[in-house]
Structure 1
């Protein structure tokens, strides 16, 4: 699997740009407004924050991300403000890049890493698809000593640390947590027809028949960004095979033409029969809008959707809308975590300044200020649930006790497989040929080793 250093770095960087751009979902510009999973907005110009005063640290530190949306950029500024307060002698460069749901930022980052001009620290997703790609290329420094110094081994759950640890070394600091196996529903519709959120696929289809008989679209779907159907299918797969086999699939230990994958794909096609016919032209928030308006009863989407329901649609949680794990996934938290690491090429004062920024990123104070503005929640076990809204409190409870898994496109697998999966999904939705789809996945896994 290992290539020479140049080839690895170039392949990782370029493949990441192509594969992950359309599928970054929750971690792009998820916030408390209608901009969520796959959207970025505002200018991508680099801004510099200058501080005054003196301290033991000097020079500058560059923070690289794709957080340029209204809420996410305000949230990011909280980290910058805290850093400036603690290290007033250091100039902070906010090098956020807008557009392309993070793909533009990934392209810029790839170019800079190739030129050996890394930022102080940069945003990636936890898991083998995003973070591990940079680790394999030799571009990330281990953070074990920093974790020991800050006591973070006890602050972050082992299930999360496992997602950022490779060959015994920890390579990143988590700053937020999101969940993408969420079924959202119109509470008033469910109450009117005496329905409860489906915990099994059998119950889902029973509810869907009732809803359809009353002229209500059972499941709102969007696929304009070409990642939403992949997200739905991934959650169906998780609910069908369970977390152990699901992880075995993502780790290349189970064949992608297994009976569980076939069953999940058939279930997915059956669910498609209960969706709106115009899904190809809708963005994810427009599918949420169908639920908010009562034109559809349910939607499967990451928890960035709650920002749409509460802020854009003005709905009240547990009154106008509700949520539950997607069918078959109770006890499992499909995690989307933004993390930051330390580039291995840094040295001297630049390395010190970047390491200090990681301390701020992992701090309880910084994460509270950041996540409460961004619409996410802190992955620290000592985070106070009362700082968050009703949905985030329920998500936090699940995160702290349930099994964590990742999903394709959210850092779980290598970029080559992600691209192949998305392409196969496009064909599958059109042809509805399960055998062809499963065969394409198996070929993709052979061509893009998952372990």
Structure 2
């Protein structure tokens, strides 16, 4: 990026009912099947040679402005291509995805799965529904559609377990981004920070100018967890960051303690009313020039441009979080094939469609995300999207803790709680011990 810029069902139910998912609805501003597939102007045969019929129920929490528009556009396009298949939009609103996940857990427990459902790639998929033996592998679909070189291998690994692929990635959001007010930076002669030392130097200058250096809205605690995970990525690098989740690196290691110390220092520069704000409210502070910087996933870009009607590189800029150049904290929404669905062939028709260039280039510009495929059409995306698409191809992909990809749901719930306490109390030892205890409790050690 450029400088301008298994478990028991009872446990499973409660884990999915409690989790907070951020890249989701309720968040305004952005944030596939058979037939034929268009790719770079050429038609290729899909995996299904015969048409299915019946209905497909699509379960998601995409009810916010951009994401709902994208979902409806997907459904309309699919129905044009497959009029014999009825699509039932079973989106559940509210709770930033929590409500939908509670309903989904109840249905899966009762052996009443939807045709397909939205799930974050990584642990949320693999340690949840795959480990519970509730998903069908999709290796044959990926092979038949020729997708093995259309998605990055790191991303395919994120939706795979024990050699099998279990879902189709539809979109990509990047989690390691600082958005900043360009006018505030220009007026104070500042450059966006690339290192932690530069970050704190910029923060000091903003503070002297009477501007809140870093905005935070942790009314829902995942936002603070997201800052911590990005600091950890910058301090540890991708390999050691991933070792936190595999158990090879403990939270009480000197390296992670360094990350917590930096995170703690960052929190001395946030707005006092952070606990009363959500992520949009925190982004609004940057838009209004009351704050200089905001660390957020790039759904914030959609909020700036769509909801607030700001212009990229005029009103706001962006850059990777400090010391994560060439690294990509990936958040991906995916859809798979649950076991015992009523119309599996029709569901596979829809999954095939979701994985196509045409579908991904229909959905993602409206959602504010970028496509999961690396051969999509850049001309359909704005400057930020084009730049992020290039970074996505060339960067090391790492899974987000805050958005359910890096660690089990139960661990994430406890981590969010521990981080929430830390933001107000600042006890480094307590946070580290809480995370290590949670890791042990959830078999990560």
Q: TM-score, normalised by structure 2?
A: 0.91
Contact 2:29 2:64 in 1 (8 A): no
Match of 2:206 among 206, 211, 214: 211
Q: Distance in 1 between matches of 2:54 and 2:315?
A: 51
Q: Structure 1's 131 and 85: CA in aligned 2 closer, same or farther, altered over 3 A?
A: farther
- 5 Å-filtered alignment, 1:44-443, equals 56-346=51-341, 350-410=343-403, 411-443=405-437
Aligned residue for 2:17?
17
What is the root-mean-square deviation in Å for CA atoms of aligned residues?
1.6
The answer (yes or no) to whether the contact 2:136–2:337 under 8 Å persists in 1 is: yes
Number of the residue aligned with 1:27 = 24
Q: Aligned partners of 2:414 and 2:65: how far apart in 1?
A: 33
Q: Given the two structures, how large is their TM-score scaled by the length of structure 1?
A: 0.90
- Indicate if the aligned counterparts of 1:182 and 1:302 stay in contact, CA closer than 8 A: yes
Query: Structure 2 CA distance, aligned partners of 1:99 and 1:119?
Result: 19
Q: Which runs of 5+ in 1 are unaligned?
A: 37-54
Alpha-carbon spacing, 1:379–1:172, altered in 2? closer, same or farther (3 Å): same
- Superposed CA deviations along residues 143-183 of structure 1, whole A, max 9, x for unmatched, are 00000110011111111101011111000000000011100
Distance 2:158 2:358 in 1: 23
SS at match of 2:314: coil
CA contact (8 A) 2:175 2:296 kept: yes
Q: Please tell me whether the aligned partners of residues 26 and 180 of structure 1 are also in contact (alpha carbons under 8 angstroms).
A: no
> Equivalents in 1 of 2:306, 2:124: separation in Å?
32
Change (3 A) 1:171 1:441: same
Match of 1:52 in 2: none
Q: Matched residue of 2:271: which SS?
A: coil
- Between the two structures, name the one with larger relative contact order (CA 8 Å, sep ≥ 6): 2
Q: Tell me if the contact between 1:171 and 1:342 (Cα under 8 Å) persists in the aligned partners.
A: yes
Partner in structure 2 of residue 50 of structure 1? none
Distance 2:112 2:140 in 1: 24
Q: Does the C-alpha gap of structure 1 residues 405 and 184 become closer, same or farther in structure 2, counting only changes over 3 Å? A: same
Post-superposition offset of 1:418: 0.4
Count of paired positions: 421
Instruction: Judge conservation of contact 1:16–1:130 (CA < 8 Å) in 2.
Output: no
Unmatched 5+ residue regions in structure 2? 1-5, 32-49
CA contact (8 A) 1:222 1:279 kept: yes
